[in-house]
């Protein structure tokens, strides 16, 4: 733990007890994930009370699955989740930086620097560091830029096959789609045990045909998506007990079945349903050669709707005329089921371009990790295309840290100590990667800093195989710029929140019935 040890408790102001407790909890969480950083990072085994095992190198998976009871530890885990949600990669980096900022901040406070001055300096340091990162970023020239494969390879932990698949998917989707704020390429990654890894233009629905008498495949399907149940409208409880209610039930049944006939006569031959499918309706669709899928997840039917150009409708919309209903239909080149895995592919949709990355593996344990690797690589690729790239391996962080030294020298008073915390935190990426590779971090830090100063380059770092100073950019060790900047923002927010906590008070228990 990089926290100054104080042996005499009387030397410590009681007001620092909360900060020290929180800093210790944060460092415990950091210790759980820092060993995974870099190409030589090791895996973590997670075991639940039932003996279920997860072996992973993925920081956010470790953090989400680990047992954490301390409030500060949970705050740090939430920070990692926010990084995952925003960028999809860099959760370990954000966690390590947050821990380093808290640790360095505590050390300054123990030296006598007021918390307010430390926080003020951190804000200055983070602002300047973000500006320096942006200045050092380099833009890619679209999905065909050869550097994109290197980004996928680094984030994909050296897995060539997964890097190839993810880059192919990015090219199929195109820059325009990747730039949309609501689109996440990582959502295009699916995993299936025993499947051959592949990428294709289209979407994958993890549901098999409602009935095995339905065709396995259809060409040029007309697609109807129902965000509802494909069943007659439901009556209120007790309605069937009256003659009027029973007659109403018969009317709704007849209307519904006539609507199914209408769908069939319109040439609809692929139906995706959010909820259940009525038995009679399912049999009618099967007899007519229609593929129908029940209980399709929202995520999957939304992707299918976007790709095919279909507009999801409620069951009441089936009352519309054929001409009106036709406006809600989508189209595709082909739809077919993988009967072994009960998954349906929809390819060549008439809507927006869409790609699916299918990742396969022999066992469930390996499959889960390959899926996580592919999702990280997909997130990194999208972030790199949208926000640019910087040298990896902790090299650019060392250069930005030197930039902060110049900022610190221009400040007056104790604010400079907060800037120093940011510079020290940025070094942690490099030193942890080097330590995980089995080298002396201090020795290699001195070697790289001297080399960067002599060469005037932010690309120089350590080869984790040989321990020699190399040009990481030329070696293809490249990271997405947005991963760095968002991780630093998230880490700084968490560190600021932790350091502002002066007292921890347990809330009194209240009887919910009295509220």
pLDDT one-digit tens code per residue, 41-98: 888 888 887 777 877 877 778 888 888 888 899 999 999 888 988 888 889 999 999 9
| Number of neighbours of residue 154 by Cβ within 10 angstroms | 25
What mean pLDDT do residues 387-407 have? 93
What mean pLDDT do residues 263-278 have? 95
The residue whose two tokens read 């639940």 is: 48
What mean pLDDT do residues 274-278 have? 94
Q: Angle at Cα 434 formed by Cα 36 and Cα 111, nearest 5°?
A: 95
Residue 10 reports pLDDT greater than 50: no
What is the C-alpha separation between 444 and 412, in angstroms, rounded? Answer: 32
Residue 283 reports pLDDT greater than 90: yes
What is the pLDDT confidence band of residue 8, given thresholds at 50, 70 and 90?
Answer: very low
Burial class from Cβ neighbours inside 10 Å (0-12, 13-18, 19+) for residue 320 reads middle
Q: For the chain, give me the number of helices (H) and strands (E)?
A: 18, 16
pLDDT of 15 = 64
Length of the chain: 515
In the chain, what percentage of residues exceed pLDDT 70? 93
What is the pLDDT confidence band of residue 6, given thresholds at 50, 70 and 90?
Answer: very low
pLDDT of 5 = 45
Hey, do 147-194+362-387 and 201-358 end up sharing a CATH topology, with the first three levels equal?
Answer: no
Contact 249, 239 (CB under 8 A): yes
Name the token pair of 314. Answer: 């409620």
The residue whose two tokens read 């995980």 is: 436
In the chain, what percentage of residues exceed pLDDT 90? 62
What is the C-alpha separation between 94 and 209, in angstroms, rounded? Answer: 43
pLDDT of 1 = 42
pLDDT of 11 = 47
Q: Angle at Cα 398 formed by Cα 2 and Cα 22, nearest 5°?
A: 25
What is the C-alpha separation between 94 and 80, in angstroms, rounded? Answer: 7
The yes/no answer on whether domain 9-138+390-500 falls in CATH 1.10.3720.10 is no
pLDDT of 273 = 96
The SS3 call for residue 431 is helix
- Continuous segment of H or E residues that includes residue 384: helix 364-387
Residue 250 reports pLDDT greater than 50: yes
Query: What is the crossing angle of helices 415-436 and 441-455, to 10°?
Result: 110
What is the pLDDT confidence band of residue 9, given thresholds at 50, 70 and 90?
Answer: very low
pLDDT of 123 = 95
Q: Which of residues 244 and 226 earns the better pLDDT score? A: 226
pLDDT one-digit tens code per residue, 335-371: 999 888 889 999 999 998 899 999 988 777 788 889 8
* For the chain, domain boundaries: 9-138+390-500, 147-194+362-387, 201-358
What is the pLDDT confidence band of residue 7, given thresholds at 50, 70 and 90?
Answer: very low
| Number of neighbours of residue 110 by Cβ within 10 angstroms | 18
Question: What does the radius of gyration of the chain's CA atoms come to, in whole angstroms?
Answer: 28
- Continuous segment of H or E residues that includes residue 130: helix 115-136
Mean pLDDT score of the chain, rounded to an integer? 88
268-273 vs 291-293, strand pairing mode: parallel
pLDDT one-digit tens code per residue, 116-150: 999 999 999 999 999 999 999 999 999 999 999 99
Please name the CATH architecture into which domain 201-358 falls. Answer: 3-Layer(bba) Sandwich (3.50)
Please name the CATH architecture into which domain 147-194+362-387 falls. Answer: 2-Layer Sandwich (3.30)
What mean pLDDT do residues 490-502 have? 91
Residue 478 reports pLDDT greater than 60: yes
Residue 167 reports pLDDT greater than 50: yes
Please compute, for residue 233, the number of CA atoms within 13 A of its CA located in the half-sphere on the CB side.
18
pLDDT of 186 = 92
Closest Cα partner for 380 from 157, 161, 177, 176? 157
| Alpha helices (H) in 44-114, listed in sequence order | 59-65, 71-86, 91-110
What mean pLDDT do residues 318-339 have? 94
Q: Which of residues 209 and 243 earns the better pLDDT score? A: 209
Contact 114, 56 (CB under 8 A): no
pLDDT of 247 = 67
Residue 475 reports pLDDT greater than 50: yes
pLDDT of 237 = 61
What is the pLDDT confidence band of residue 4, given thresholds at 50, 70 and 90?
Answer: very low
Which has the minimum average pLDDT: 125-139, 247-261, 463-477, 482-496? Answer: 247-261
The SS3 call for residue 280 is helix
């Amino acid at each position: 733990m990089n926290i100054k040890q104080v042996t005499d408790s009387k030397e410590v102001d009681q007001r620092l007890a909360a900060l020290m407790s929180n800093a210790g909890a944060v460092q415990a969480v950091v210790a759980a994930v820092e060993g995974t950083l870099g190409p030589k990072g090791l895996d973590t085994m997670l075991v639940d009370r039932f003996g279920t095992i997860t072996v992973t190198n993925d920081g956010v998976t470790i953090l989400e699955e680990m047992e954490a009871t301390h409030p500060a530890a949970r705050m740090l885990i939430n920070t990692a989740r926010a990084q995952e949600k925003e960028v999809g990669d860099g959760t370990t980096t954000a966690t390590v930086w947050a821990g380093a900022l808290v640790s360095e901040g505590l050390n300054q406070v123990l030296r006598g620097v007021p918390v307010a001055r430390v926080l003020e300096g951190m804000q200055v340091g983070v602002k300047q560091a973000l500006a320096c990162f942006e200045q050092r970023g380099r833009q890619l020239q679209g999905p065909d830029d050869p550097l994109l494969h290197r980004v996928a390879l680094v984030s994909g932990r050296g897995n060539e096959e997964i890097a190839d698949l993810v880059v192919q998917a990015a090219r199929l989707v195109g820059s325009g789609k990747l730039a949309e704020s609501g689109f996440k390429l990582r959502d295009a990654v699916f995993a299936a045990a025993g499947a051959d890894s592949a990428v294709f233009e289209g979407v994958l629905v993890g549901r098999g045909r409602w009935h095995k008498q339905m065709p396995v495949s259809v060409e040029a399907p007309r697609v109807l998506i129902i965000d509802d149940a494909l069943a007659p409208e439901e009556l209120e409880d007790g309605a069937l007990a009256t003659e009027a209610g029973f007659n109403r039930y018969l009317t709704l049944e007849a209307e519904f079945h006539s609507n199914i006939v209408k769908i069939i006569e319109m040439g609809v031959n692929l139906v995706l349903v959010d909820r259940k499918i009525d038995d009679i309706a399912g049999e009618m669709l099967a007899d007519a050669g229609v593929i129908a899928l029940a209980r399709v997840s929202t995520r999957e039917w939304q992707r299918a709707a976007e790709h095919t150009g279909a507009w999801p409708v409620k069951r009441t919309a089936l009352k519309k005329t054929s001409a009106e209903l036709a406006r809600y239909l989508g189209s595709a080149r082909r739809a077919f089921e993988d009967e072994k895995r009960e998954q349906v592919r929809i390819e060549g949709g008439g809507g927006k371009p869409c790609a699916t990355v299918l990742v396969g593996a022999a066992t469930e344990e390996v499959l889960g990790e390959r899926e996580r690797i592919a999702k990280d690589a997909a997130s990194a690729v999208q972030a790199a295309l949208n926000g640019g790239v910087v040298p990896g391996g902790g090299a650019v962080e060392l250069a930005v840290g030197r930039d902060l030294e110049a900022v610190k020298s221009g400040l007056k008073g104790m604010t400079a100590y907060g800037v120093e915390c940011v510079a020290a935190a940025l070094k942690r990426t490099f030193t942890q990667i080097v330590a995980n590779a089995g080298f002396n971090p201090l020795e290699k830090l001195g070697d790289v800093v001297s080399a960067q100063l002599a060469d005037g380059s932010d690309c120089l770092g350590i080869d984790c195989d040989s321990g020699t100073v190399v040009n990481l950019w030329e070696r293809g060790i490249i990271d997405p710029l947005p991963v760095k900047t968002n991780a630093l923002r998230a880490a700084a927010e968490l560190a600021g929140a932790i350091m502002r906590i002066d007292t921890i008070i347990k809330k009194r228990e209240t009887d919910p019935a009295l509220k």
